[in-house]
Structure 1
Amino acid sequence: MAPLIALLTGTALARIAGLLGVPALDAWHPALRVGLALMFVLTGAAHFTSRRSDLITMVPPGLPRPDLLVTLTGVLELAGALALLAPATARWAAAGLALLMLAMFPANVSAARRRLTLGGRPVTPLGARTALQVVFVSAALAVALAG
């Protein structure tokens, strides 16, 4: 739920800043870029903090080096967040992040099917996780396809 809150709050605050006179944020697409960047800073940082072991546990059992995969995806999320903030790279970053989210979704499916408990709580049920994923990928695609 924290990534959704980061996306919505970051977008809303950036849009308000635009309405208050920050020219770079005076439209919904730039504000959405900020919200997505905030979301990916949050999720990317989790790959290197106390949530790291939970994320490693989520990696489907058949994949090699779950620790390396978690590190790689964390680096990609953080790099993508930074690239979202630069207008010249934002569209490509958003497209890449949408693809990354799709590539990582099987880990969420695997975790739900294995009924993992992470951080003392059961993982988000697959239906809710799928709905959230649709929102996140749609937001990234909205940025990637912005004219």
Structure 2
Amino acid sequence: MTRLEEEMVSFIALIGGFVALRLLGVVGVDVLDGWQPALRGALALMFVVTGIPHFLPSWRRDFAAMIPAAFPQPALLVTITGVLELAGAAGLLLPPLAPFAAIGLALLLIAMFPANVSAARRGLTLAGKPVLPLPARTAMQLLFVAAAVAAAT
């Protein structure tokens, strides 16, 4: 699997999850009857998919290497971001917390973007494959942030 294919897993989780959840809403699952609940569920799925690798040894090392040198304790930052992604995913599924979780996740995506820029500029790898080129990563990051903001409104 190429890096683009691996990165597409997040995209597929978001888009495919949204379509599947929205269809469930249309056929009678009341809690999913609307674009926003379906989007929140899809974002939750995406953040579970992206959050779990923060705790897998080979991914942790690569994620830590992505963090710019100006930030202290990269391994701790990888743990914190993984916990925040998973907690945010859970928050998206709780209607009273969902808007706050969505905004928090949008801010987290923005805060983590410098690591993606750093990794692309330094030609790093994730799981032995080159990171996604910066233009493609930027486009995906913008989509993810826009989805999180839309889920908050």
TM-score, structure 2 as length reference: 0.92
- 1:67 partner amino acid: A
Residue equivalent to 1:34: 41
Query: Within the alignment, does 1:7 sit opposite 2:7 as a pair?
Result: no
Deviation at residue 103 of structure 1 after TM alignment: 0.4
> Which has the larger displacement, 77-86 or 7-16?
7-16
Structure 2: runs of 5+ lacking an equivalent:
1-7
Structure 1: runs of 5+ lacking an equivalent:
none
> Which has the larger displacement, 47-56 or 108-117?
47-56
Q: From 84, 91, 115, give the equivalent of 2:92.
A: 84
1:37-69 CA-partner distances (Å, limit 9, x unpaired): 000001111100142221111111221100000
Query: What is the RMSD computed on CA atoms of the aligned residues?
Result: 0.8
Q: From 104, 108, 112, give the equivalent of 2:120.
A: 112
Deviation at residue 118 of structure 1 after TM alignment: 2.0
- Quote the sequence identity (%): 61
Residue equivalent to 1:55: 63
For 2:103 and 2:123, the matched residues in 1 are separated by 31
1:78-107 CA-partner distances (Å, limit 9, x unpaired): 000000001111000000000000000000
5 Å-filtered alignment, 1:60-71, equals 60-71=68-79
Alignment length (residue pairs): 145
TM-score, structure 1 as length reference: 0.96
5 Å-filtered alignment, 1:13-32, equals 13-32=20-39
For 1:12 and 1:88, the matched residues in 2 are separated by 23
For 1:111 and 1:104, the matched residues in 2 are separated by 11
